């Protein structure tokens, strides 16, 4: 399998990260603008990579851990670009791009590995389950990253440090909106993904929609956590810092569910 586009995308993510960091250090919005275009290039190259894989072996992307992680990075970056086109919160990229780089570096450890899909994960529903779940989780991750920046900006404003960083970070209102959007769209997608998964589980594991597997349990925990967040947001009216802090906690759970628990799982892990 050709990984040229993957490597090119990784390089572009890296460049975008560097651009964002320089823009923060040098305090130049122009650099962030350029970095945003580079990030767009990275997402495009990455898309070509997926297309490449798709033509090679059909709709069976993201079934090993490394590809799933790379797909995750793509979703987070793509969603961020879509959001920033509307809100002009360019500097948020300074958190999104490094996050994508970390994921991509993790992905690159195994992107050239062989593709052995366990029997349980072979079936028409599996790619749908995986794709929907990862898109949902990607949007959640974006919501949480906005939360991280919200906490930084909130701190700057409350401590009256208006001269430095605060001047270049997005406004609290915009960050809160991104958090809202991420939760709002991520939730139905992940829900659908989990439902498809459980439908498939019934066929694959015979009879039950549910297997007491660490991965399943953690994924359900992630779903519950974000469901709670969304409920507090929409029904109770939690906003701002409280949600931002909880979003960060949720992201930690999400990452563990995604990567860490994979190694504990027996029947449901990526290869």
Question: What track of x and - describes contact with another protein for positions 137 through 166 (by CB under 8 A)?
Answer: ----------------x---xx-x-xx--x
Identify whether the C-beta of residue 73 lies closer than 8 Å to the C-beta of residue 107: yes
- Strand, coil or helix: 117: coil
Identify whether the C-beta of residue 49 lies closer than 8 Å to the C-beta of residue 9: yes
Identify whether the C-beta of residue 262 lies closer than 8 Å to the C-beta of residue 72: no
Nearer to another protein, 124 or 160 (CB): 160
Question: What track of x and - describes contact with another protein for positions 228 through 247 (by CB under 8 A)?
Answer: ---------xxxxxx-----
Give min distance, CB of 105 to another protein, in A. Answer: 33
Nearer to another protein, 207 or 237 (CB): 237
Q: Does 180 bind another protein (CB under 8 A)?
A: no
Identify whether the C-beta of residue 189 lies closer than 8 Å to the C-beta of residue 139: yes
Identify whether the C-beta of residue 174 lies closer than 8 Å to the C-beta of residue 105: no
Helical residues (DSSP H) of 159-235, grouped into ranges: 172-204, 214-231
Q: Does 172 bind another protein (CB under 8 A)?
A: yes
Specify the stretch interacting with another protein by CB under 8 A; choose among 4-12, 53-61, 102-110, 174-182: 174-182
Summarize as ranges the residues that interact with another protein (CB under 8 A): 87, 153, 157-158, 160, 162-163, 166-167, 170-174, 176-177, 237-242
């Amino acid at each position: 399998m050709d990984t040229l586009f993957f490597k090119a995308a990784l390089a572009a993510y890296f460049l975008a990260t560097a651009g964002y960091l320089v823009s923060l250090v040098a305090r130049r919005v122009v650099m962030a603008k350029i970095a945003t275009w580079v990030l767009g290039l990275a997402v495009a190259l990455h898309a070509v990579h997926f297309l490449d894989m798709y033509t090679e072996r059909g709709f069976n992307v993201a079934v090993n851990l490394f590809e799933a992680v790379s797909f995750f990075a793509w979703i987070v970056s793509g969603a961020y670009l879509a959001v920033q086109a509307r809100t002009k919160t360019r500097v948020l990229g300074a958190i999104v791009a490094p996050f994508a780089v970390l994921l991509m570096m993790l992905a690159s450890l195994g992107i050239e590995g062989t593709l052995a899909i366990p029997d349980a994960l072979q079936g028409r529903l599996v790619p749908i389950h995986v794709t929907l779940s990862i898109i949902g989780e990607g949007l959640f991750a974006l919501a949480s990253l906005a939360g991280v920046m919200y906490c930084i900006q909130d701190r700057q404003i409350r401590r009256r440090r208006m001269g430095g960083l605060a001047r270049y970070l997005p406004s609290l209102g915009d960050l809160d909106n991104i958090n809202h959007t991420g939760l709002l769209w991520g939730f139905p997608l992940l829900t659908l993904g989990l439902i498809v998964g459980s439908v498939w589980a019934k066929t694959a594991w015979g009879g039950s929609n549910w297997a007491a597997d660490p991965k399943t349990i953690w994924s359900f925990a992630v779903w519950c956590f974000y469901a709670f967040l969304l409920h507090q947001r929409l029904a109770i009216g939690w906003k701002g810092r409280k949600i931002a802090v909880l979003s960060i906690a949720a992201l930690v759970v999400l990452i563990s569910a995604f990567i860490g628990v994979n190694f504990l799982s027996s029947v449901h892990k990526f290869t």
